[in-house]
A and B are shown apart, each in its own frame.
Chain A
Amino acid sequence: MHIPDGYLGPITCALFYLIMIPFWYKGILELKKLDPRKLPLLGVLTAFSFLVMMFNLPVPDGTTAHMVGGTLIAILMDNPWVATIAISIVLIIQAIFFGDGGITCIGANCFNMGVVLPFVGYYVYKFLRDKVGEVIASGIGAYVGIVTAAIVAGLEFGLQPFIEPGYCPYPFTVAVPAMAFAHLITAGPAAAVVTAIVVWYVKKVRPDLFTSQNKQVSGVNA
């Protein structure tokens, strides 16, 4: 889902950098307010996200896809804004040091994987949590989140020929189904299983991280 340099034209790239500014700004503010006990966990989850993206999975059409970890971070932090920051760190490092995802497309890639993915995933999880339980809800959230992000990436690829021709040559009638397929069938299920397992495990061993700070204090006093 890492759009490389060249596939989006200058106007599209600039637009997504602009869109990202308020998300990055609000994300930094939320990071400032985050329960300090969660800060080390967010750090290792950032590295975890970098690594899960290295596990490319085969897609039957001959391409590959990978999970991202954005929904997982949003659920464990109980805050999709800081997931935007964590995933953006990963994507910027990938673009600069590993040439994965374009420098010009950092805005678009951060929007797809760092905003659409964790926000959709987190709110699907929130909506389902009381109905199907937290573990199943987190798996479904991760699945819907990554598939939605892939479709949005497909729309960006596919609208490019209509915005400025000469960049991505494929219209959205080609790009959207291709992006959706790879993530519906491969990356989505992987994201669902991994997210559900990690959420289940973390909430089992560290329920204290998920009570609010005030409750935690009164709990300690009691």
Chain B
Amino acid sequence: MNWQDPLVKKFLYVIIAMILLCPLGILLVWDYGDAWGEWGPEDVSEKVGEDKVSGLLHLADIWAYAPLPDYNIPGWEDKVHASIGYIISAIVGVALCLGAYYILVKVVNPQASSS
């Protein structure tokens, strides 16, 4: 894969700019609720009653191993810390996406990826 392609380089600059700007994605919606249907299990059960969501409460915490839950370092609650946590998450996420993609292409298409 030719990562020196000028268009790909331009995208890498865009990606760096987006990483730096990404705190806008939480600051602009700081006083807003969650996306529809993405509320925490306590919030839903409070709203509709625990008996209506017994299965939901059972399944909701099945995955408690996310190292950066909600794109943040756990406990970094104020705007400044959350913004830094968000930037860290963006960097980690981009690295993971590029890494996973690179490995996948290496596996499925070794000739193309070595050229």
Where the two chains meet, the residues of A that have a C-beta atom closer than 8 Å to any C-beta of B are: 1-7, 9-10, 28, 31-32, 34, 36-37, 39-52, 54-59, 62-66, 85-86, 89-90, 92-100, 102-104, 153, 157, 164-170, 175, 178-179, 182, 202, 205-206, 209
Contacts and interface: CB of A to CB of B under 8 A. Distances in A.
B92 A56 contact: no
A64 B29 contact: yes
A57 B25 CA distance: 7
A197 to B, nearest CB: 11
A22 to B, nearest CB: 16
Contact of A58 (B2, B28, B97, B101): B28
B36 A179 contact: yes
A5 B61 contact: yes
Given A36-B112, A56-B26, A62-B32, A31 B105 contact: yes
Interface in B15-67: 15, 18-19, 22, 24-26, 28-29, 32-38, 41, 44, 48, 52-63, 65-67
**SS class of chain B's interface: helix, strand, loop or mixed?**
helix
A48 B11 contact: yes
**SS class of chain A's interface: helix, strand, loop or mixed?**
helix
Interface in B93-110: 93-94, 96-98, 100-102, 104-105, 108-109
B37 A153 contact: yes
Contact of B97 (A10, A62, A89, A164): A89
Contacts of B90: 50-51, 54
Contacts of A103: 62-63
Interface of B: 1-3, 5-8, 10-12, 14-15, 18-19, 22, 24-26, 28-29, 32-38, 41, 44, 48, 52-63, 65-71, 86, 89-90, 92-94, 96-98, 100-102, 104-105, 108-109, 112-113, 115
A143 to B, nearest CB: 18
B49 to A, nearest CB: 8
Given A51-B22, A62-B32, 7 more contacts: A63-B35, A66-B25, A96-B65, A98-B89, A167-B59, A169-B44, A206-B7
B114 to A, nearest CB: 10
A47 B56 contact: no
A94 to B, nearest CB: 7
A157 B86 contact: no
A28 B14 CA distance: 27
A153 B10 CA distance: 34
17 contacts: A5-B62, A6-B53, A7-B56, A36-B112, A47-B93, A47-B98, A48-B15, A54-B25, A55-B25, A56-B29, A57-B28, A64-B34, A89-B104, A99-B70, A100-B70, A166-B56, A209-B7
Nearest to B114: A36
A48 B44 CA distance: 32
B109 A32 contact: yes
Nearest to B22: A54
A6 B29 contact: no
